[in-house]
Each structure stands twice: as structure tokens, then as C-alpha cells.
Structure 1
Amino acid sequence: MAAAAALPVREASAGAKAPPRRFETPADLARYTRLSRLAQPLVMAHRGGYKPHVPGYPENSLVSARRVLATGPAMIEVDIRRTRDGVMVPLHDATLDRETTGSGPVDAIRFANFRKLQRRDATGAATEVPTESLADFLDWSADGALLWLDTKDVDPVELVALIRDRRAEARVIVSAYGRAALEAYQAETEALVHFVPLIPAQGLATLADVNAAGLDDARMIGFAGYYVPDVAATQAMRERDIPALLGLDRGDGRLRADQLDPLLYRRAVETGFPMLNTDHYAEVLAILGISGWA
């Protein structure tokens, strides 16, 4: 496989961090994320930037996301589900038990009751961190956060409407799993940047399928795989200037921060994988020498 141009892996600089990167339009965000234009690696803070093995920072919570924004340049992943009355909320699981002080299915609780719950942290302990809505995250992101919305159980029409209502089009990357979902998003707007894994069983086996569903290459972010990339798929995207996310979270989330191997992250970038999903965003930023937005 032809190697992509290596992005800089440099020593972190001392002093105050650069201000957050803001994009005026979704087109600006699309241009910034093209493989040929990336000036530095983009690190994703998995599940809102919670800290594995660290108490007090629940996943998909604003308290964790604020910590990401204060630490350095990272995309902040937010998982999305819907309550019984259709309010979109940041939760990974289909049930409330692991992430909150509630129990039962997320889609069985009304939002007013969801609001009364508290978050649990990575240790399983109940915290004083409140539950929030996706709207809360979108409003907060106006301060300069770049959100990666991982759609678990949402209606594309409703999600696009909420993003528009919060004027957040230029600060979100929206996942689209399968052809039906991607076509639904494109029917609502052709402006958003989308993360689209190739899922043959759901009608997206090739990049041609993605284009046929209405998404052009300039707004697509693909998926390279977990730890060991899909070489053929990644090369096909690389030839069309489409960046691909390499998922490292399934491995490094099981490790303590002091167990990370810096070579893994540096080699990933050097071999042409500049988008990394990790449970240790702060440590990875330090390993790659990133302290501000390029």
C-alpha cells in the first residue's frame, strides 16, 4: 500500500494552549478534515472524554467534555439515544443501569424523569454529575468544541432539525450507519460532514454505494478498522482524499494511562492514519506533541 504523507509528530510546546478551532460553515469543516489538508492528527475523545479508571468523570457528560476542551484539540464523541418522549440524550447503552443511577431501557423513561438521575463514573460509583440532553451539548459546543455524534437510536429528521435549531452544523460530524440512514440524512441536508463505515449488510459495501446514497467524497469520513486497519478499504479512501478513523479505543481503554505504548500512536500517524479514537485522549495528545489546533 502506498504510504500517505506523514503528518508532523512533534514535541509538545510549553505555555498556554491555543484557542479552540471554530468553523464558520459545514463546508469549512469538510475542507479541514480532508486527508490531504490535515496539518496535524485529529484525536477523538471516546464517549465524551471520560477517563477510564479515574473516578468522577462519567462518559458522555459535560463535565468530562469540558475537561477535553480545556486539555487540547480533540474531537469529542457523544453517543445518542432517545427517551420515551423522543428527547435525544447522550448515552451509549440501551439501558440506564451502567451509566446512570436509573434502571431499565432508555426508551422507556420520559425525559423529565431522566433529568432527575445522576451519572455513574468509570468505577460504577454514583456521582453528583447530572444527566443532560443532546441539546445541552450542542449549545455548549458553541464555545469551540467539535462534536462527533455517534447515533445509536435517533431519527435522522429529528437530529438534523435539532442541529439546525442550535445552529451547530459547522461543529458536528454525524455518523450514518447503513444506506437507509445515510439517504435519510441526505434528504434533509447535503451540508453535514458524515462518518460512514462500509457495512455491506446494510447496503454500503463500496464507496460507490455511499455516493449513490447522496454523500460526496468531500463530506465523508470513513472507518479504517480497530487496531489493525482494513488495508484495501483504507487505500481506496486514501486515493479519494477521504480520511479514515482508526479505532484504538477497544484496546487502550483496557489499559491504564501508564501502560500505553507511544510507538503505537506515532506509527499510526506516520503510516497515514491521522484520525485516532482513544480512551486516553490527553496522553495521546502528549505522545503526538499536540497542544493546539493547527
Structure 2
Amino acid sequence: MTSAIVVDDIRKRYRTTVAVDGLSFEVGTGEFFGILGPNGAGKTTTLEIVEGLRRPDSGTVRVLGVPPWPRNAALRSRIGVQLQTTALFERLTTAEQIRAFAALYRVPVRRADEMLEAFGLTGKARARASALSGGQAQRLAIACALVHDPEVVFLDEPTSGLDPQARRNLWDLLRKINAEGRTVVLTTHFMDEAEVLCDRVSIMDNGRILRCGAPAALVRDLAAAHRITVQAGAISVEAAVRSFPDAVVTGDDESLTIATPDPAAVLAHLATRDALRGLSVRGATLEDVFLTLTGREYRP
């Protein structure tokens, strides 16, 4: 796979604050790549450097084979950017909004109207941007970022603040964007979103990448215990402790949970005792990986 983006040892400091500290990664052409991290990890600064909105203090970046800084007019027409804060012209209608972006990129009006239909906004064509719901506003922002048919798309927390239905609908749109051959770079705080959408993710903190890989591979490498939960009374806590000495057993009036590295043996034993009532099994997730790497403490 050829690389659409190559980032090599970039650094960015704001006075005494180190925002990006020697970051290196590559994104393949057509890949859906996620950048994850707690608040203040350096995600947005990294994205802005790659987009050409900020100049790194040192290091190099190449997007589609060319450096994004100094600002390159030829490159701007090949990338699409949806910023963390959606800024729309509130007094323009939805149609006027996207047509304005089309005019900036010298794209025919026909293309703008096609994007309205593709993003389910035709019915809101005459509504002002200020009257759109959160999900509609996010769809419009992404449509504006795609109106000129870019090869690489940058999305900074595109589903932040959306309800579950709006998030899922937007996921479908993002899958479609990627399936059409575009390279997509996403930052998000939602681990389930990254697991569903991304081919690979990088988890960063304090301006550095801690781990990078496919979500399933990162979860597998964590080797975390599976949590098996059954209805309270199916088996007593004392019996579970005796039967599974290598497991961590907890229980209350509603349920009993067994955290074990060997779920097959536990499930087999519970089955022989007819103790599977209310059964649920939960393996490790990308969120477990994230918390293991970045910690659980509150961030200022």
C-alpha cells in the first residue's frame, strides 16, 4: 500500500507546553486511520499540522507526496477538512452554504446540489444553517469538505455532541466516503466509533504515540480478562471462588461476575451446574486498551 500521508518526527511547542513531541506515522492510500487520545494529548495540533494549518517547529510532513506547509494551493484542492468546531454561515441557507464552498473551489453548482442529495439534506436546502439540528449541521460541514471531491479527508471529532441515531447515520456516511476510495483521517473520543470505522488507530498522549495498529490487534495484544456474568443465585460467590481460583469473582444481589483469562473453562463448568441463567460475556475492548495506556485519572 502506498502512503497518502507520511509524518516524520514532528514537534510543536507553545511556550512551556509541548503539544507534539516527536510524532511519526504513515497513513496508507484508501485507509481509514484514527487518532485517539485524552483531552490535551495533541490530537488536534497534530491534525492541523498535517492539514497545513500550523507549521511544525521541526520534522517533516508529506501529504500526497508534497509538504502541506508552506500552504500549497494545489494541495488544498486535493484535501478536505472538517474542523473540530463546525463554523457555518448562519444566515445562509443550506444550499447557499454548500454552493459557496463549491464556488471557492470552482466546482459547478450541479456538484453542490448532488452533495445535498447524497447527504440527505435536500429537504433542508432552503433552511438556514442556524435552524439545522446537530446531526444535520455535521452532515453539511462534511458535505462542504467533500464538495470538491478531495482524495484525503480530515475529520476532527465529527460526531461530538450527536445523539446515538445521528452518530450511527453519520457512521454510514463515513463508511461510504471511505469505500469510494478516499483516505480518511479521524480524531474521536468514542472508542466504539474507532473500532467500527478505522482500519488502524494510533493512541497518543502527551504529544506522543503510545501504540498504533488495527483495533482488533491492539485488543488482542492487551490479553485482558473476559468478564462472565450470570444471574445471582445461579452459583454462589463462595462456590465460584473455589471453582475458579485464578479468577476474580464479584457479586451482588443481582448478578455474579467472574473475570478470567480462560473463559472456555469457566463457561463449561457453569454449564455442567446449569448456572448460565442471565449469561453475558464481555471481552476486552479498545476502551480497555485506551485506559490501560493513558490511565484513568481525571485530566485538567
TM over 0.5: no
Q: Normalising by structure 2, what TM-score? A: 0.29
More strand by share: 2
The answer to which structure, 1 or 2, has the higher relative contact order (CA under 8 A, 6+ apart) is 1
